[in-house]
Structures are given as C-alpha cells and as structure tokens.
Structure 1
Amino acid sequence: MRLLSRVLPVLVSLGLASCAGVKVGTNYDPAAVQRIDEFRTYAWLAHPQRTKDTRINNDITEAQVTEAVDRDLQARGYRKVDASANPDFLIGWQGAIDTRLSAETVDNYWGYPWDPFWGSYYGPSETYVRQYDVGTLIVDVVDAREKRLVWRGTAQANLGDSPSIQGNGGRIEKGVEKMLEKFPPKPEKS
C-alpha cells in the first residue's frame, strides 16, 4: 500500500499530461492585416502529400480538416467558392506526427517526517520512459491576389501511445476551432 500511495501521484500526472489539450499558435504578416480584414471568399489549395504517413495522408483526415475549417469559417460569414471564381484568399493545410520520449524519475525515499519509518529505506530511484506521438496541424492562409502567405495557424496535441485516424477524439476540430479564433488577426496597438 505504501508503494502505491507514492507511485500513484506520478502515474496520475502522467495520465493527465497525456490528456492535455490542444496547444495553438498563430503568426501573420502585420503589413497584411488590413487586407486580411477585407477577405470574404476563400477556396482550398490542393493538399500536398509531403509525408508517406497514412495517418495523415488519407481521405478521412482530409475530410476532417476541410470540414472543420469550412464549418468555422462559414459560421463567421466567409463564403467558400471555386478556385476559378477569384477568391480573396486560399486555404491550405499540412500535418505531421512526431514520436517523442518522456522520462520521469521517481525517488524511492520512503516516508514522511511524521512517519515512524521515515528515513529507514533508501531504494534506488527508478526512471520510467514513455514513448508517445504528437500530432501537428498547420493551416495556411494565402492572399489569392498577391500569392503570398499572410497567416499561419498551428495546433499541436499529444496523440498518446497509439494514435489512429479514427480515434483522434475531436482533436482536429478543437485545434481548428482554437486556431481560427485568432483569424483574422487584430491590428497591433501602438
């Protein structure tokens, strides 16, 4: 029981870390803020296949990303048009899944100062190594008239030990929603 009471907090913290939310970031061209604010129509760029990872390059993920972006933009008044209809901006996306390692060391110094056995056991520290995958989604906004990138949003989430396209738990939708909350960018205040 003593071992469980000392190891349980570490296991719970590892579990919570793996359930952490989606982290987002955005970047934009400050000189293009006024032009971006005038955007009303958009079209999709062709999705480049930059990786052979079938967890990213497949019809299901393509549909999840495009539907999430379309839903969010259209709810805010943007209108999707055909690329030949001279849209104001173009949308493209890319994705990646990277494998990472996490190491947690548990000190096996047992007991508390009020415990009668405090200081009586010094065991070797144990290090637990965990391998997990992190997914990154990048959404780009390109000024259709000038053909240049004017806004980029990134979303990153821990996919756990065995990511699959079917079990993404709504991370794509959450990531797109959180990213696009910052689109269009607000002008910087002087």
Structure 2
Amino acid sequence: MRLILASLFLMVLTGCASNVVTDYDSNTVFGNYGSWAFAPKGEGESFTSLDGGRIKSAVERELNRKSMRKVDQEEADLLVTWQIVEEERLERSGVGLGFGFGTGNFGWGLASAPPVREVQEGKLVVELVDTDTDRVVWRAASRRYLNENQTTESRRELIDEIVADMFEKYPPGA
C-alpha cells in the first residue's frame, strides 16, 4: 500500500513540474519597462523562418497581454531576442530480440538491444534585453522540444503553449 501511495505522490509531483525554466536579474525593476521591440537580425540572417514567424507572433501576443507596447527599436525599453537551441538525443526505436533455453537452475540466453537513432530537437530560449544597459534582464528556456516529426499545426500549437508558459512567469514576482 505504501508503494502505491508513494508512486501516486511521485506522479502528482511529476505532473506539476514546469515545462519552462526562467531566470532574471534580481536587481531589475520590471515595472519600469513599458515598451519593447524585436532585436535586430544577426549577421547573415536575411529572412524569418516558418518557426520564427510563429515565435514572433506568439511573443507579440503574450507581451500585448502584459500591456506592453510594441515600438520601434530606438524607442524600446526592452529588446526581445529568441533562438532555437539544437540538441541531439538518442532515441530507442522498436524492441530488442532475445531467446533462451535451459532446464532447472541452468540455462543460456542471447539478446540484442533495440535499435538506437539520433534525433535532432530544438529548445526555445527567449531573452529580454534592457536597451539602456545592453544586458539580459530576463530569460526563459523551454523543457519541451520541437522536432522534425511534428506537423505544421502541432508545431504552431506547441510554440504557442511554450511562449504562453514562458510569459506566465513575467514579470518575476507578479
């Protein structure tokens, strides 16, 4: 009975785990920020990707919900920058095979491990930069991943959910 209760307790705790990790400068007064703009594109970036457009749309929606004004870069209190950090993960696909034989306390067996493949995934990271100091004052990173197997609609929904979770924790302490 104790084992069952402990298992249920662990499942509840796991279900409460956040899908987003945030960090911020504790010396920053976030109430002083009222406007924002997207940071300029880096060198060699001449276009916005499909996911980039989805991310920009989601960020804009969430900052509007926080009553922050989108302005030109020169007038902004905060610059929003984002990136998809690619990571490789090993994934087991299928099942292993095995067979064995024997009698009594003696036997032989042979087994093979399931096939493993590398999967490329992307983790979304959003940062807010103070335009006066050029320092990151708030950062959010997702624990959920985008991967190449997702459909267009599931990618859009996942990005919307991730960005909403991120800005649920902005401003800190609110």
Distance 2:139 2:44 in 1: 17
Structural mapping, 1:19-168, within 5 Å: 23-32=19-28, 35-48=29-42, 58-84=48-74, 86-103=75-92, 122=109, 124-160=111-147, 162=149, 168=155
Task: Sort the Cα spacing of 1:93 and 1:124 in 2 relative to 1 into closer, same or farther, 3 A.
Answer: same
2:122–2:147 contact (8 Å) kept in structure 1? no
Distance 1:48 1:78 in 2: 24
- Residues matched between the structures, number: 151
Distance 2:144 2:86 in 1: 10
- What letter matches 1:94 in structure 2? Q
SS in 1 for 2:138: strand
- What letter matches 2:123 in structure 1? T
1:27–1:152 contact (8 Å) kept in structure 2? yes
What's the RMSD between the two structures over aligned residues?
3.4
Q: State the match for 1:17 in structure 2.
A: none
Structure number having the greater strand percentage: 2
Q: State the match for 2:10 in structure 1.
A: none
What per-residue deviation string (whole Å, max 9, x for no partner) do you get for residues 144-168 of structure 1?
2222111111124334463576752
Runs of 5+ unmatched residues, structure 2: 1-17, 101-106
SS in 2 for 1:46: coil
Distance 1:135 1:144 in 2: 27
Runs of 5+ unmatched residues, structure 1: 1-21, 52-56, 111-119
Q: State the match for 2:5 in structure 1.
A: none
How far 1:169 sits from its partner (Å)? 4.6
- What letter matches 1:162 in structure 2? N
- What letter matches 2:27 in structure 1? A
TM-score, normalised relative to structure 1: 0.64
- What letter matches 2:30 in structure 1? I
Distance 1:165 1:25 in 2: 25
Distance 1:62 1:182 in 2: 22
TM-score, normalised relative to structure 2: 0.69
